[in-house]
Amino acid sequence: MQAIPANPFGAPVDNGLNDTSPLNYVDVDFTYPYDVVLTADQFLRDQTVSTTNDADFAWRAVVIAFSTGPFNVRFADSQGYYLSNGMIVSANLQGDAASPYPIFPEILIPAGGRIGIDIQDTSGNTNTIELLFRGVKRYRVG
């Protein structure tokens, strides 16, 4: 192995990040999207993004890729445990794909599992939303 000098102006992603896959697994970048159109003030509980059966998903970040208005949201892991004590306003989850809202430490969603979502429009109008759950699929290779 040889170390590559980092460009101090460059982002870590451009300089390169070493493989941190656990032993006998390989991590592959993946994003699960959640698309919804809320009517004015609509509150949807216990929505689900299902993970595929081929690999566990290590959830590392959330991106609000698009919304036509503000909303509140709360997430739960695959066991149904909420990740916050209440709804979070979307403005507190700001970020874009290049600098997303981090989920740290990562949350492991098993293959065939789910990410739970409660979501509520607060714009008073129809609200078209896309959330992206960024992370890695963790494939077993050993």
Partner 1 sequence: MRIIEEPYFTPDGTLDFPFAYVYDSSANSDAQNILNISQQLQGDSDFILRRIMGVPTVVDTPANGGRFNFKNASGNYANGNPTTGIIVPNTWPVVPEKKYRTNEQISFDLYRTLRAFNVCSATPIYASQIAFMGVKRFAKGSGYPRQITPYKYREVRYAYAFELTINWAHFDNLGNVQPAQRFIQQMDNFDFELLRISISQPGANVDGVPTALTTPDFAITLYDPNMHQFSSAPLLQGFLNAGRPTPATSSPYQATFPCPSQIYPAGSAITFDITSLLCGPSLPQNYEILFDGIWRYPC
Residue 94 within binding range of partner 1, rule CB under 8 A: no
Nearer to partner 1, 6 or 40 (CB): 6
Nearer to partner 1, 1 or 91 (CB): 1
Task: Give the residue carrying structure tokens 């390989």.
Answer: 26
List strands edge to edge, sheet with 88-89. Answer: 43-50, 114-121, 71-76, 88-89
Residue 19 within binding range of partner 1, rule CB under 8 A: yes
Residue 11 within binding range of partner 1, rule CB under 8 A: yes
Residue 16 within binding range of partner 1, rule CB under 8 A: yes
Task: Give the residue carrying structure tokens 């460009």.
Answer: 7
**Both structure tokens of 54:** 């081929």
Residue 127 to residue 40: CA distance in whole angstroms: 7
Nearer to partner 1, 120 or 133 (CB): 133
Residue 91 within binding range of partner 1, rule CB under 8 A: no
